[in-house]
Amino acid sequence: MKSYLQFDDKDWDRTERNWTAWWHGETDRPMVMIETMADPRYSLDTSHEHLTLFPLTQSAEEVIGGFAPQLEAFRYLSDAFPKWVPYFGPGVIAAFLGSPVDASTGTTWFHPSGIASLAETDLVYTTDNLWWQRVASVTRAAVARWGDRSVIGHTDLGGNLDILASLRGTQQLLLDLYDAPDEVERLLGQIAPLWLRYYDAFRRLVVTTNRGTAGWSPLLMPGSGYMLQSDFSYMISPRMFERLILPDLTACCDALDYVFYHLDGKGQIKHLDMLLAIERLAGIQWIPDDGAPPSEEWMPLLKRIRDAGKLCQLYVTPDGALKIARELGGKGFAFCICNRAYLTSDEAMACCEAFRVEGLVE
């Protein structure tokens, strides 16, 4: 069954043109993504449910069918566009490599796989795995249903140390970094090519839509691309980051066309200079810690990112976006406008008008 979203070919032509110009530095205004629900019966939160919560006995078509009413109720304003991400938890490659999956708490956890010895461990690419097959089947079903009108994203593959932390356990991996750093580095050398192979496998499933790429991010990428991450890096020194994470990030940037990095919390700022020095890294997504000041209160950090020639994506309120644009200019920013869970229709239209007055939207 096809779904008919509130976005037509003319909308796609405009959106793809504007995003391509933004990526190539050919526009002075920011990208502004505003989404609202045309039907107030639905909540944005329900479209982000972990798909690990659905019984494996439920077909892929049945799983995505439950999301159709919410997705079809969205209105996409300014530079927003329809997208749906098959989300099975952060770093699902761990499940492909044997990490047990636990969704009993309403979220997704990947438990240690029982690896006893790093020296005796080798990580091998395989598609002969229940979870790979599940993610692939749901992705195919989404492409069949929405692919003519929506970007179908990649599932969250995870960062290299994040994946290894799921396989080993976070505490054990921290000990491994001191007890067996060479073995950790050897396994990371195996994860890097596995990551790219899994990325390519999912890209082959979604590229048939001809609507660009989003990964799990809100950005429309007119080619191959991803939002890279390393949540584990919050806990390690810049020297370890340079040795264990930076080479993998650089390899992914070299392999893909449009790459961002998910800078999650102030504990990762210590790595920012190394990230900004990656030539093919296009930009930074800045996420303040829970309870920290909102994005617009980090002006020196945002200026540092833009002065390095990188793009920058943020989740901000309408007032926050206006403050940043007035102080730093809008060029190179991508603002995902949020206010509580989502904007009401009246709030969304008022936001568009305010941004139009400022010259921030078409």
Residue 2 falls inside a structural domain = no
Closest Cα partner for 140 from 76, 82, 60, 197?
60
In this structure, is residue 93 part of a structural domain? yes
Structure tokens at 149: 């009108």
How many Å apart are CA 148 and CA 50, to the nearest integer?
24
Three-state secondary structure call for residue 251: helix
For residue 141, being part of any structural domain is answered with yes
| Helix runs in 170-288, H state only | 170-179, 181-206, 238-244, 246-255, 272-276
Give the number of domains in the chain. 1
Quick check: is 1 in a domain?
no
**The domain containing residue 276 runs over which residues?**
9-357
C-alpha separations of 124 from 26, 101, 149, 255 in Å: 42, 19, 36, 20
Query: pLDDT tens per residue, the chain (362 residues)?
Result: 555 678 888 999 999 999 999 999 999 999 999 988 876 666 554 445 789 999 999 999 999 988 888 788 888 999 999 999 999 999 999 999 999 999 888 889 998 887 778 888 899 999 999 999 999 999 999 999 988 888 999 999 999 999 999 999 999 999 999 999 999 999 999 999 999 999 999 999 988 767 788 989 999 999 999 999 999 999 999 999 999 999 999 999 999 999 999 999 999 999 999 999 999 999 999 999 888 999 999 999 999 999 999 999 999 999 999 999 999 999 999 999 985 556 888 888 899 999 999 999 98
Q: CB atoms < 10 A from the CB of 289, how many?
A: 12
The answer to whether residue 188 sits within a structural domain is: yes
Given this model, what pLDDT does residue 43 score?
57
CB contact set of 298 (below 8 Å; sequence gap of 6+): 286, 288
- Secondary structure in 3-state letters for 277-307: CCCCCCEEEEECCCCCCCHHHCHHHHHHHHH
Q: Is residue 362 assigned to a domain? A: no
Whether residue 101 is contained in a domain is answered as: yes
In this prediction the pTM is 0.94
The β-bridge partners of 260 are 227, 283
Quick one: residue 227, left, alpha or beta (phi over 0 = left, psi -120 to 50 = alpha)?
A: beta
Residue 23: give its domain's CATH number.
3.20.20.210
Residue 4 lies in a domain: no
The span from the CA of 362 to the CA of 79, in Å, is 9
Q: Do the Cβ atoms of 99 and 58 come closer than 8 Å?
A: no
pLDDT at res. 117: 83
CA distance to 85, 89, 92, 108, per residue, from 51 (Å): 10, 8, 11, 9
